Structure 1
Amino acid sequence: MRKNPRRALRGLGLVCVLALGATACGGSDDGGSDDQKAVSQSDVQAALKKGGTVTVWAWEPTLKQVVADFEKEHPNVKVKLVNAGTGNDQYTALQNAISAKKGVPDVAQVEYYALGQYALTKELTDLKAYGADKLASTFSPGPWNSVKAGGDGVYGLPMDSGPMALFYNKTLFDKYKIAVPTTWDEYVDAAEKLHKADPKAYITNDVGDAGFTTSMLWQAGSRPYTVDGTKVKIDFSDQGAKTFTATWQKLLDKKLLSPVASWSDDWYKGLGDGSIATLATGAWMPANLASGVKNASGDWRVAPLPQWTAGGKASAENGGSSLAMPALGKNKALAYAFMEYADAGAGVQTRVDNGAFPATTAQLNSTAFQDTKFPYFGGQQANKIFAESAANVADDWSYLPYQVYANSIFNNTVGKAYISGTTLTDGLASWQAASVKYGNEQGFTVEK
């Protein structure tokens, strides 16, 4: 239930020089060193009984109630919930705290695409020492794969997820007798029909977004990033990438995409007045529509994500965060206890009840969850679609260990395809070249 879960991050470099091996980046002489000794559940329970304070940096609003419930259940524990900013703002603050070895939180919210960078530079605790690897079946495959790094390391617990679906304005589709597209080719046809019927209406908006593009590549079967420690390969020329660019280029060439930026006032207006007819995005979107586009309640519905091949069921994740444990945090047993409560325990249902979309299979597969009716979508049981999407996310996607930086240069590379004669294919090649250059400069060994 975040306002913009995939905002591009700018200006965040790697904290440690990877060419020097990234050793001791998480070390400290203040009791916060990460020695990876096994911590049993009895150790965690003893820490809860003894009590203490846990500092949590997170912007996710549903955690407020989780904190209250956790403190009530464990009266000797005080959880200090701090909103240090959303996305980039928090990451900058976290980087500064780690560099100064002062004021580092015990728990931090970290988006999936940013997690690998912190894991590689040893700034996060490998949660296997706490038995987190035994929670694999607790979570859906996409989010669980996203918190793993360095082989079999587990560097966070999935907090939410964003399996993709197609949100569409049913009232508008009915008005112009447009069928809900089940393939992306049909989506292009629907875009043409809609824009011809009303030149002010567009099938969707897109001015270039790294998160959306990587999600679409993911669904199309592209795997542009291969990561093995500091060995990285980047290749945007595989068949999946070609499949995506060939289709999306048609929408660009025919000017069938609204040039309105997501999350802007004009975007909300367009979603309400019918000039933006669909959104292919994560399952966290309903709360944003209900709060930001109230006048269109009842007009919108949810459908499965269109497929690249007729009859397919492939999906992808778009957005989502984990709770992670900085290596310099002090109260680690208490920190893990809170993380497990919030992401795999009683706190999950509390968050779902308050509008979060779960990453846990128990909630995703529950009758109560799937039978929930959304008044905004005319009483539709949209969670059935979201849950099926979550189950169909391939679990072999990888982000770069410096995806934060890569996303920050997206608009200067791929983004040019939206404002000039540059093609998406050429834009991806430019993004690849710039990402390779940066990676090599940072001490990675990068192939292309």
Structure 2
Amino acid sequence: MHKHSRRLLRGIGLVCALALGATACGGSNSSEPDAKTVSEADISAALKKGGTITVWAWEPTLKQVAADFEKEHPGVRVNLVNAGTGNDQYKALQNAISAKKGVPDVAQVEYYAMGQYTLTKQLTDLTGFGAAKLAAQYSPGPWKGVKAGGGIYGLPMDSGPMALFYNKKVFDRYHLTVPTTWDEYVDAARALHKANPKAYITNDAGDAGFTTSMLWQAGSRPYKVDGTKVRIDFSDPGAKKYTATWQKLLDEKLVAPVTSWSDDWYKGLGDGTIATLAIGAWMPANLASGVKDAAGDWRVAPLPQWRAGAHDSSENGGSALTLPELGRNEALAYAFVRYADSGKGVDTRVKGGAFPATTAQLTSKTFQDVRFPYFGGQQANKIFAESAANVSGTWSYLPYQVYANSVFNDTAGKAYVSRTKLADALKTWQDASVKYGEEQGFTVEK
């Protein structure tokens, strides 16, 4: 067996041991054990026998899913634990894995963070569980998010196909037309800010997730990953489209320098000084709860396009349920994951406000005909579902994307607080990501 060299990956307080030996590169080795196999008979036997599984997840709709699963299988107990959101949970999970103690049977992992676990084989490959048979149930973006090196390391739980949320009241007041292209978006930004210098088309203080989603939609593919071989390049034609357009907004001070999810951000969304958001389809519940006084003012439109007449979209957010390699009760854990992400639990979560990754829900008349009171009765799911269908499944994240995102504001963020051009700032981000990858033992193509 090849020896694995291990280095520490630190990002936003996350510590992740990366296995950088030959077996981590997706290659096969006759001395390595075969992928785990769990049959339908194994799953049925596990459900009949019963037992307890521990699930680490912050997604609120899983509470009802767990209760329903226990009711359907009286001998099963689901210990649902919120170990923190995103990076907080990843830190706790990595600590448990390193200590080989307290590792959950199921863990929620966002798509952008999957690589740091799949490369090291810290998640169970579900191919031998029959997961490949479920591929057709999911839209392309989320399904790509759970695959790595020929393996399937989770089942998609939700997704975030992008759309343009806009304040119709503001657009009507200033006689603005909803933009269908990003060039039209820049024109609308100019017209709005000229009519009301206190109003901005959107906010952007620098955000890694938003930037990668915009690059994705523009056709940029800055990350190429083959095991421990990676390539990072923010100068392809798609990236140039994005930086050239967004630079106009920054140069002309047409975007509010407000951080998303801050008090000022919510205030701007409520009083009309932030007029649009290009963001994932999970946003409606956040608007309804955080910007209550603007109910009825907002609407949803397709994401503006980089080329007139195109129908390209991308994902912004979303996560999967995975089985950590050191977890126990694998058959029972997989039964729960399958129930939550492709079975009855999907409808339960959708009713609770989650946005699905499954095409059956996305294309159903019941789902698409839902009227959103917050959006003036608009059937917004029709727009979200169309966006999901138009997401390219060819996007890849770095195996250490969590770290890369953590240094975004110190590198690419300079474009938002100085005269540094966005294209140059992205090159700084690229250089920092390359340097870090090399320090961790990755082979980085320049």
Normalization by structure 2: what TM-score? 0.95
* Contact 2:93 2:103 survives alignment (8 Å): yes
CA contact (8 A) 1:34 1:125 kept: no
Structure 2: distance between partners of 1:125 and 1:319? 22
Say whether residues 1:138 and 2:137 are aligned partners: yes
| CA distance in 2: counterparts of 1:219 and 1:45, whole angstroms | 42
Matched AA of 2:14: L
Per-residue CA distance 1:101-123 (angstroms, 9 max, x = gap): 00000000000000011000110
Q: SS at the partner of 1:53?
A: strand
Corresponding residue SS for 1:355: coil
Once residues 330 and 246 of structure 2 are traced to their aligned partners in structure 1, the CA distance between those partners, rounded to angstroms, is 46
- After superposition, residues 359-378 of structure 1 pair within 5 angstroms as 359-378=357-376
Aligned to 2:338: 340
Alignment partners' CA distance in 1, 2:146 and 2:99: 26
Partner of 2:107: 108
Q: 16, 19, 26: which is aligned to 2:18? A: 16
Could you tell me how far apart the structure 1 residues matched to 2:192 and 2:33 are?
57
Whether the aligned pair in 1 keeps the contact of 2:139 and 2:388 (CA below 8 Å) is: yes
Partner of 1:3: none
- What is the rounded CA distance, in whole Å, between the counterparts of 2:231 and 2:13 in structure 1? 23
Q: 2:254 maps to what in 1?
A: 256
- Aligned residue for 2:174? 176
The 3-state SS of whatever aligns with 2:361 is: helix
Contact 2:18/2:119 (<8 A) preserved: no
- Hey, what's the Cα distance between the residues in 2 that align with 1:422 and 1:21? 41
Query: For 2:163, what is the secondary structure of its paired residue?
Result: strand
**Structure 1: gaps of 5 or more residues:** 1-8, 24-32
- Confirm or deny: 8 A CA contact 2:24 2:228 kept in the other structure: no
**2:62 alignment partner AA:** L
User: What residue in structure 2 maps to residue 391 of structure 1?
Assistant: 389
Opposite residue 56 of structure 2, the aligned amino acid is W
For 2:333 and 2:206, locate their aligned partners in 1 and report how far apart those are by CA, in whole Å. Answer: 38
Cα shift at 1:34: 8.4
Amino acid at match of 2:17: V
Contact 1:348–1:358, Cα closer than 8 Å, also in 2: yes
Listed one character per residue, the Cα deviations across residues 189-233 of structure 1 (whole Å, up to 9, x for unaligned) are: 000000011111000000000000000000000000000111111
Output the CA distance in 1 between the equivalents of 2:81 and 2:16. 24
Partner of 1:85: 84
Distance 2:230 2:414 in 1: 25
Q: Are 2:279 and 2:316, in contact at CA under 8 Å, matched by a contact in 1?
A: yes
1:13 to partner: Cα distance: 3.9
Match of 1:213 among 211, 214, 231: 211
- Verify the 8 A CA contact 1:34 1:328 in the aligned structure 2: no
The residue identity in structure 1 corresponding to 2:13 is: G
Deviation digits for residues 40-63 of structure 1 (CA, Å, limit 9, x no counterpart): 111101000001100000000000
Q: Deviations over 1:2-49 (max 9, x none)?
A: xxxxxxx613243135258659xxxxxxxxx98623211111010000
Deviation at 1:260, TM superposition (A): 1.0
Distance 2:111 2:98 in 1: 22
Query: Relative to structure 1, is the Cα distance of residues 165 and 295 closer, same or farther in structure 2, using a 3 angstrom cutoff?
Result: same
Pick closer, same or farther for the CA change 1:17–1:441 going to 2, 3 Å: farther
Task: Tell me the distance in 2 between the aligned counterparts of 1:78 and 1:15.
Answer: 31
The counterpart of 2:197, out of the listed 193, 196, 199, is 199
Q: Distance in 2 between matches of 1:36 and 1:398?
A: 24
**Aligned 1:409-448 pairs, distance under 5 A:** 409-448=407-446
> 1:47 matched to which residue of 2?
46
For 2:320, what is the secondary structure of its paired residue?
strand
Asked whether the equivalents of residues 19 and 443 of structure 1 are also in contact (C-alpha less than 8 Å), the reply is no
The letter of the residue matching 2:92 is: A
CA contact 2:159–2:319 (8 Å) conserved in 1: yes
Q: Which runs of 4+ in 1 moved over 3 A?
A: 19-23
Cα distance in 2 for partners of 1:213, 1:37 equals 37
| Kept in 1: contact 2:19–2:119 (CA 8 A) | no
The residue number in structure 1 matching 2:308 is 310
Is the Cα contact below 8 Å between 1:19 and 1:442 reproduced in 2? no
Partners of 2:203 and 2:43 lie apart in 1 by 48
Mapped contact 2:24–2:227 kept (Cα < 8 A): no
Give the secondary structure class of the aligned counterpart of 1:280.
strand
Is this contact kept in 2: 1:140–1:390, CA < 8 A? Answer: yes
1:19/1:431 CA distance change after superposition, 3 Å? farther
Please report how far the alpha carbon of residue 88 of structure 1 lies from its aligned counterpart in structure 2 after TM superposition.
Answer: 0.7
Q: Deviations over 1:380-424 (max 9, x none)?
A: 000000000000000100000110100001001100000011111
